[in-house]
């Protein structure tokens, strides 16, 4: 083997080593980038789930208070205690909203702002801050649940989840009411 062949062999070994190093570097960089995206998607999912859970908890408490105040359903809990629970739930909803502000994409943040406004109108009618009829109460509920669906759509899109919760496959649904209230035999 002459010197030229030895240099060609050394060059080929060096080229192989450099290309292996560059390939490994690129793959490791891609793996870390994927881990980072996955980590943030996990945090986003937790934030989105926590926010919707807190919104729904506030709605449940508002319904409990409204039905108690309007005489639709008796409650063993005093109105004062219900208001205190609503205040605590509202504070938790606010904290959950702040996580959305930190982690959510633009469309998710806007959907959360809209949902907050709708949820507050339910709270306000329940605690007497604003007046309204039973029909207005139901309209507020329809609006807040449409807002929840809009938030779901924005969150799914932000997370890259295929499909949707509205549209032809999932038409809008109305409130579920007991038969006596659906047929117009309401007490309030």
Q: Per the confidence metrics, is the pTM higher than 0.75?
A: no
Closest to 152 in 3D by CA, of 68, 76, 82, 56: 56
In this structure, are residues 114 and 147 in contact, taking their beta carbons and an 8 Å threshold? yes
Q: What is the pLDDT of residue 26?
A: 80
- Give the span between the Cα atoms of 71 and 113, in whole angstroms: 32
pLDDT tens track, the chain, 188 positions: 788 888 888 888 888 888 888 887 788 788 777 666 566 788 999 999 999 999 999 999 999 999 999 988 888 999 999 999 999 999 999 999 999 999 999 999 999 999 999 999 999 999 999 999 999 999 999 999 999 999 999 999 999 888 776 666 555 666 666 665 555 555 44
Q: 46 CB contacts (<8 Å, ≥6 apart)? A: none
Q: What is the pLDDT of residue 11?
A: 84
Q: What is the pLDDT of residue 184?
A: 53
Instruction: Give me the count of residues in the chain.
Output: 188
- Give the span between the Cα atoms of 58 and 77, in whole angstroms: 16
Q: What is the pLDDT of residue 188?
A: 44
């Amino acid at each position: 083997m002459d010197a030229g062949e030895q240099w060609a062999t050394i060059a080929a070994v060096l080229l192989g080593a450099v290309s292996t190093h560059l390939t490994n570097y690129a793959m490791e960089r891609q793996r870390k980038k994927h881990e980072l995206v996955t980590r943030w998607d996990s945090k986003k999912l937790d934030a989105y789930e926590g926010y919707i859970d807190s919104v729904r908890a506030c709605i449940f408490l508002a319904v409990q208070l409204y039905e108690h105040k309007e005489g639709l359903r008796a409650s063993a809990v005093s109105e004062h205690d219900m208001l205190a629970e609503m205040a605590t739930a509202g504070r938790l909803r606010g904290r959950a909203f702040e996580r959305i502000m930190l982690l959510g994409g633009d469309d998710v943040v806007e959907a959360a702002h809209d949902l907050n406004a709708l949820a507050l109108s339910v709270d306000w009618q329940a605690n007497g801050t604003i007046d309204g009829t039973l029909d207005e109460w139901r309209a507020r509920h329809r609006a807040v649940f449409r807002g929840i669906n809009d938030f779901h759509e924005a969150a799914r899109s932000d997370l890259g989840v295929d499909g949707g919760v509205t549209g032809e496959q999932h038409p809008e649904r109305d409130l579920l009411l007991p038969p006596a209230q659906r047929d117009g035999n309401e007490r309030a």
